[in-house]
Structure 1
Amino acid sequence: MMSDEYLVECKIDDDDEEEQKLQHSPPPPPQFSTPSITPQPSLTHVESRDPYGVNKHLKVEFSDVLAEPMSVHSYDRVWVYSGISFESARIWGYRCLTVLCAVPVSLLSGCLFALLACLHIWCVMPCIQVCHTCLPCVRSLWMTVVNIFIEPFCASVARCCSGIYILLSKEED
């Protein structure tokens, strides 16, 4: 698959070049922009439906799936029609599946993320805050238990084992 860095954008219609420059002007630096002035993308007209590149791995073309080596070639028309069939089936299959599945899956995804947000806000974060509040008391109690019981035992075992030396040698047959 060819990476996007090799693709070149070719302008066909130069009549409204000034209008395009105004529409595609870069955003102001963060220190000069205000959140109320920056336009929010609408759900009805979006230039890029994957602005963060979440689905880069799904950019599949005909040549990524089917390719003929130089030693064997089918008829040119067969190759062209196969490419057209592949692209048509991919595009129309996707469109038909999204007509059937997009609304229910987005509804379920929205409910799932709402449930996760609710659990995070009302269950997880309060538990974490309780742990952070109680942790200093538990830490001092745990350090006392370690210093009284575990540290002397480990020190004794270490002194007993400090005189043991292990010599590894390779045994030949």
Structure 2
Amino acid sequence: LFDHYSYHCPANGHHKEIDLINRDPKQVNEDVVKVDFEDVIAEPDGTHSLDGVWKASYTTFTVSKYWCYRILSAILGIPVALLWGFLFACLSFCHIWAVVPCIKSCLIESQCLSRIYSLAIHTFCDPLFEALAKIFSSVRVVLRKEV
């Protein structure tokens, strides 16, 4: 059979060891797809089926889930992996060749606009607010409570 770690792609020069036992090392599906019999079917106290039915239900659920997943992954796993690989390659391509350069371009242009905006504020608004500050700095407010 296969080793615990194996995967080779020498044609492209790519070589990576993958773990055939722990197939979710980054725990991507920790809370999402971990569905056992007890996570789906539960009988509260006072409402129990026959013990034989409960055991048969457990076995049926577990075995059918196991083999259905195996059959689906055997039939569709490689085509779906191909589609996801293509999708993420396209996303990476767009991000590298379009999104990042566009963001960089916008940042460069926004720096230019921010300088123009800053110059306009300092030229027109600063004198106005300084004049208003001098006018209102001599205003005194006295609060009295009359009874």
In the alignment of these two chains, the number of paired residues is 119
**Equivalent position of 1:104 in the other structure:** 79
Q: CA deviation at 1:129?
A: 2.6
> Letter of the aligned partner of 2:87 in structure 1?
L
Q: Which range is displaced more, 81-90 or 67-76?
A: 67-76
2:49 is aligned, of 68, 74, 80, to 74
Pairwise CA RMSD of aligned residues?
3.1
Q: Share of identical aligned residues, percent?
A: 39
Secondary structure (helix, strand or coil) at the match of 1:56 reads coil
> Letter of the aligned partner of 1:46 in structure 2?
L
Structure 1's unaligned 5+ residue stretches are: 1-22, 24-38, 157-173
**Equivalent position of 2:65 in the other structure:** 90
Q: Does 1:41 align with 2:41?
A: no
Distance in 1 (CA, whole Å) between partners of 2:77 and 2:124 is: 61
**Equivalent position of 1:59 in the other structure:** 34
Residues 71 and 126 of structure 1: CA distance in aligned 2, closer, same or farther (over 3 Å): same
Structure 2's unaligned 5+ residue stretches are: 5-14, 133-147
Which TM-score applies when normalising by structure 1?
0.56
Which TM-score applies when normalising by structure 2?
0.65
> Letter of the aligned partner of 1:68 in structure 2?
E
Deviations 1:21-48 (A, max 9, x none): xx9xxxxxxxxxxxxxxx9523xx5221
